[in-house]
Amino acid sequence: LLLLLPVAYFIIFRYIPMSYIQIAFKKYSIIQSPWEMPWAANGGFEYFIKAFSNRDFIYSLRNTITLNLLDLVVGFPAPILLALVLNELKYKRFKRVTQTIAYMPHFLSWVIIYGMALQLLAPTDGLVNIVLNRMGLESIPFLNDPTHWIWTYVFLGIWQSVGWNTIIYLAALTAINPELYEAASIDGASRLRKIWHVTLPGLRPTIMTLLILSLGNIIGSSFDRPYALQNNLVNNVSNVISIFVYNNGIKGLQFSLTTAVGLFQSVINVIFLVAANKIAKKFGERGLF
C-alpha cells in the first residue's frame, strides 16, 4: 500500500507519456492520435535531420554542453569543500547557522535570483559596479557581455545549489566510523591528513554516485535558470536546448521537431550515464548498477 501512490505516479506521469515518443518519427496532427499520424519522410527521421540542419539547434547544443561542463568542473567540487569545512568546525551553533544560510538560496526561484543579481550586477546602477566606479575602476558587464555572463551564470548556479548539495555530503560523513579518526590521531595525523586519508575515502562512494548522475545529464538543461538570466545581448551563449524546445515547440507548435530533439537528448544522456558507470566500475568503484 505504501508503494501504491509512487508506482501510480510513475505509471501515469512517466511511463504512459513515453508512448508519445513516436511523435518524433511522425508528422504531428492535433486531430489525430499518435498511432494514426502518418510517418515522417526519410524513414521517419525527417525531424532529426531537420534538427541537425538547424543552426539554432547546433548553437543550443554547443551552449548546453559548455555550460554543463563548466557547472561540472567548477560547481561539482564546491559542496564537497563546503562539507569538509563545516565538518571541521568545532562550534556547533556556528556550523548550523552557516549551513542554514548556505542552503536557503535553494528555495528561491530563478526569477527572484535574477532580480537580486540585477540589483547587484547591473552595468550602470548595480551595487557592485557603483562601488567599482567610486573606486575609479571601470564597470564590469556581468550580465551583458557573453564571457562575463557565462561565469555569472555558473557562479549563481553554485550559490543557489551548493548548500543543498552539501547536506548530502554531510549525511555521508555521519556514516564514517569515528574510530578511524581516533586511530589517525594516535598515529599523529594532522587535521589535513585525517581529511585526506579518512574523510575523503569515506565520501568517495557518494562523490562517485553524484558524479555519474551529473555526467548522465551532460546535455540536459533546466529551463528556468537560463531563461531567467538571458537577455538579447547574450542570446548566442544563453540559448540552450530547453529554450530551443520552448521556442519551437510551445511557441512554434513544431511538436514533432521538439520531440525528436528531446529524444536525442535523452539517448545521449543515457549513453553518458552508462559509460560513466562502467568507467567507475573499472576503477574499482561500486557504480549505480
**DSSP string spanning 90-140?**
S-HHHHHHHHHHHHGGGGS-HHHHHHHHHHHH-TTT-HHHHHHHHTTPPP-
Q: Is 288 a domain residue? A: no
Report CA Rg, the chain: 23
- The phi and psi torsions of 205 (rounded to 5 degrees) equal -60, -40
**Domain enclosing residue 139, as ranges:** 55-282
Residue 239, in any domain of the structure:
yes
Q: What is the CATH number of the domain that holds 115?
A: 1.10.3720.10
Q: Is 150 contained in some domain?
A: yes
Q: Is 12 within the bounds of a domain?
A: no
Distance CA 158, CA 168 (A): 15
Residue 34 covered by a domain: no
What pLDDT was estimated at residue 140?
94
User: pTM, whole model, 2 decimals?
Assistant: 0.90
- Domain membership of residue 272 (yes or no) is yes
Domain assignment present for 6: no
Taking the chain (289 residues) in runs of 10, the rounded mean pLDDT of each run is 85 86 90 88 92 95 95 95 91 88 93 95 92 93 94 96 92 91 90 92 92 89 91 93 94 93 93 90 78
Domain count within the chain: 1
